Amino acid sequence: MESIKGGGVLDGLRWQNQTTPEAKERNDMLNQSDFFALLTQELSYQDPTKPVDNNEMISQMTGFSTTDGISNLNDKFEGFANMMGSSQALQASSLVGRSVLVDDNRFESAEGETVKGKLKLDQAANNVVIYVENEAGAVVQQVPVGNVSRGEFGFEWNGELANGDQAGAGVYRFRVAGLVGGEASELQALTYRNVDSVTLSGAGGQVQLNLKGGNSMALSDVVEISQG
C-alpha cells in the first residue's frame, strides 16, 4: 500500500485558506465578520480525521453571540443614560426661582421673610414645640404646636422674634421637640428653600440644585416642589 504524502488526498480535503477584505477602520473590538474569519481559519487548519466537535463549535458561536449582544446592550444603556441626564437637566433648570422641600432644617432668611417648613411623622407626637435658632444656636422664637397626628404637618415662621421685632437677615434653623410614645424626642424638620441656580454636572454626574443660603443638594434629594 502506498503511503499518503503531501499534496495527496488529505490535502484535497483541507479547506482552502479564505481571504478577508481589509477593514476600512481599525479598532480593538472583534466584530461578527472577524469572528467568522477566525472560525474559517480554524476549520481550514483542523485535522480531517479529528474534526471539531459540533458542541464545541456551537459553544464558540454562542459565546460570541452573547458577548456581541452584551456589547450592543451596553451601547443602548449608554444612550438611555445620556437621554435621562438631559431630561434631568431640563427638569432641574425649570426649578430656578422656585421653592423645593428638602430634608434640611437650616435656611437663610431675609429680614421679615416668612419661612415655611414641614414635619413628617411616622407616629403621633404630643406637646410639640418649634424652636427657631440663630446661627449661634440661641433661641430667637418658639411656637407651641401641641399634639400632631401621624403624617405630614406644615408650619411657617413669620420672621418675628420673641419680642415682636423682625429678625435680621441671616442663617437660622428649626429645632422641633415633642413627646413620641411618652418619651422626649427631637423631630426632623424639612424646609422649603429657593433654588438660585442649577449645576448640570455635579459630583458623580448628578444634577445639583444650588439653594439660597449657599449649600447645594442633588435633584434626587428633593422631597417636594412647591407651587409657589
The tens digit of pLDDT for each residue in 92-144 reads: 777 888 888 888 888 888 888 899 999 989 999 999 999 999 999 999 999 89
pLDDT band at 89 (very low <50, low <70, confident <90, very high): low
pTM of the model: 0.57
Question: Distance between CA 77 and CA 70 in Å, rounded?
Answer: 10
DSSP type of residue 204: G
Return the top range by mean pLDDT from 10-24, 38-52, 165-179, 204-218.
165-179
The confidence score (pLDDT) of residue 133 equals 94
pLDDT band at 6 (very low <50, low <70, confident <90, very high): very low
The confidence score (pLDDT) of residue 3 equals 43
Q: Which helix (H) or strand (E) holds 209?
A: strand 208-211
User: 189 by DSSP, 3-state: which?
Assistant: strand
Question: Distance between CA 194 and CA 210 in Å, rounded?
Answer: 9
* Distance set, CA 102 to CA 88, 151, 209 (Å): 17, 17, 11
CATH code, domain with 153: 2.60.40.4070
User: Is 127 among the domain residues?
Assistant: yes
- According to DSSP, the residues that pair with 125 across neighbouring strands are 148
Domain boundary among 59, 92, 125: 92
Q: Is the pLDDT of residue 7 over 80?
A: no
For residues 124 and 150, the answer to whether their CB atoms sit within 8 Å is yes
Domain boundary among 61, 92, 123: 92
Question: Distance between CA 175 and CA 143 in Å, rounded?
Answer: 11
Q: How many domains is the chain built from?
A: 2
Residues 81 and 129 both lie in one domain: no
CA dihedral 135, 140, 146, 152 (to 10 degrees): -40
User: Is 63 among the domain residues?
Assistant: yes
User: Is 6 among the domain residues?
Assistant: no
The confidence score (pLDDT) of residue 74 equals 66
Residues 109 and 183 both lie in one domain: yes
User: Is 208 among the domain residues?
Assistant: no
Question: Distance between CA 38 and CA 34 in Å, rounded?
Answer: 6
How large is the average pLDDT for residues 30-59? 61
Q: Which domain holds residue 127?
A: 99-190
Q: Which amino acid is at 172?
A: Y
* 70 grid coordinates: 452584551
% of the chain beyond a pLDDT of 90: 27
The confidence score (pLDDT) of residue 10 equals 46
